Homo-oligomer: A and B are copies of this chain.
Amino acid sequence: MSLTKESIAEWFKSLQDDICNGLESLDRTGKFKEDKWTRPEGGGGRSRVITNGQVIEKGGVNFSAVEGPTPQKILDALKLPEADFFASGVSIVLHPNSPMTPIIHMNVRYFEMSDDTYWFGGGIDLTPHYVVKDDAKRFHEYLKDTCDKYDPEYYPKFKKWADDYFFIKHRDETRGIGGIFFDRLKEDDTHSKEDIWEFVKAVGKTFVPAYSEMVNRSKTIEFGEAEKAWQYHRRGRYVEFNLVWDKGTKFGLDTNGRTESILMSLPPQANWTYQHQVETNSREAETLSLLKKDIDWVNA
C-alpha cells in the first residue's frame, strides 16, 4: 500500500483502537467512552475518554484527521503561502489515581499541505509525581530501543528536544523526566518518507508496553493523604505547562479546535498553595532535585 494521507490516518485510527484496548486491559475496570465529532471546515475525530478506572482516574486517547484551508496562524508561523492542509494524529494524556503512578503523554502526528510539503511529529514523556530513578531509566530505555532501530542519532537528539520542550520556564523545572520529542521530520539523504513513517509507528506501539510497565511497577505501592496532596500539587504544575507553554494546546485553542478534546489533558483535580514548601531530604525534595534538563537517565 502506498503511503497516502488516507492510509496514514487509517493506521492512526487503528493505533487508537489498539491503545484503548491495551489500556482497558491494563486498567481492568475502566472503559473508554467515545465522542465522534466533525469540523465545519473539514474532517473530524474520535475522542475517547476513560474516567474513574482502577488505574486511570481521567484520561483521553484522541484520534483526529482534519483538513481544509490552512489557518492563517499556521501560515504566518511557518511563513507559507495560502494552501490547503491535512493533519492527522493520536494524542494521549492519562492521569492515574495513584500518586505513585506517573502521568503519561504521547502524541504522534502527520501534517501535509496541498503543495506536497509534509512532516511527521510526535513524542512521549513521563511525569512521575515521585521520580523513581530505576523507573525513569527503564522508561528511557524503551524509548532509546525504539529510536535506535531507526537511527542511532534519534534518541540523543529527541531526548534533548523533549527536555527543552517539556520545560516549565516560570518554575525553572522540567514537567517530569522527559522522554522524546520530534517535529518537522521528513525525508532526507538517509531516510525515506516510508522509513520515518515506520519510526513514527514504532513510537506509537511503544506506548502500551512502556506505560504498562510503569503502572505495574507502581500500582501496589501504598500511599496516604500526604502523597495525594503532593499529587494534586504536581498536577497543578501540569496544568501550568499545558495552558501556558504547550504549543499544541495554545494553537488548538487559538484556532477554534475542539476545546473538550484539547483540554482532556487537564487533570480531574489540581491544587495550588502559595509558596509551597517541601521538607528537606523528603521524597518530594528528591523529586524536585530531579526535575532538571540533561539527566542521562539511561546511564543513571
Contact = CB atoms under 8 A, between A and B. Distances in A.
Interface of A: 35, 49, 51, 58, 60, 169-171, 232, 236, 239-240, 243-244, 250, 253, 256, 259-260, 262-264, 266-275
A275 B253 contact: no
Contacts of A271: 268-270
Contacts of A272: 58, 263, 266-270
A269 B268 contact: no
23 contacts: A35-B275, A49-B274, A49-B275, A51-B274, A58-B272, A60-B274, A169-B253, A170-B253, A170-B263, A171-B259, A239-B239, A239-B243, A239-B270, A243-B243, A244-B253, A260-B275, A263-B272, A266-B272, A268-B271, A268-B272, A269-B269, A269-B270, A270-B270
A270 B243 CA distance: 14
Nearest to A275: B260
Contacts of A269: 232, 269-272
A118 to B, nearest CB: 28
A287 to B, nearest CB: 18
Contacts of A170: 253, 256, 259, 262-263
A174 to B, nearest CB: 16
B250 A244 contact: yes
- Say how many copies of this protein the assembly contains: 2
A260 B274 contact: yes
A168 B267 CA distance: 19
A273 B60 CA distance: 12
Contacts of A236: 266
Contacts of A243: 239-240, 243-244
Nearest to A262: B170
A51 B272 CA distance: 11
Contacts of A250: 244
Nearest to A266: B272
Complex A-B, nearest 4 residue pairs according to Cβ-Cβ distance, in ascending order: A243-B243, A266-B272, A170-B253, A49-B274
Contacts of A259: 170-171
A108 to B, nearest CB: 22
Residue among A171, A264, A266 with most chain B CB within 10 A = A266
B274 A58 contact: yes
A93 to B, nearest CB: 11
Contacts of A268: 271-273
A81 B270 CA distance: 42
Contacts of A232: 269
Contacts of A273: 268
A276 B240 CA distance: 21
Residue among A49, A253, A260, A270 with most chain B CB within 10 A = A270
A32 to B, nearest CB: 11
A256 B171 CA distance: 10
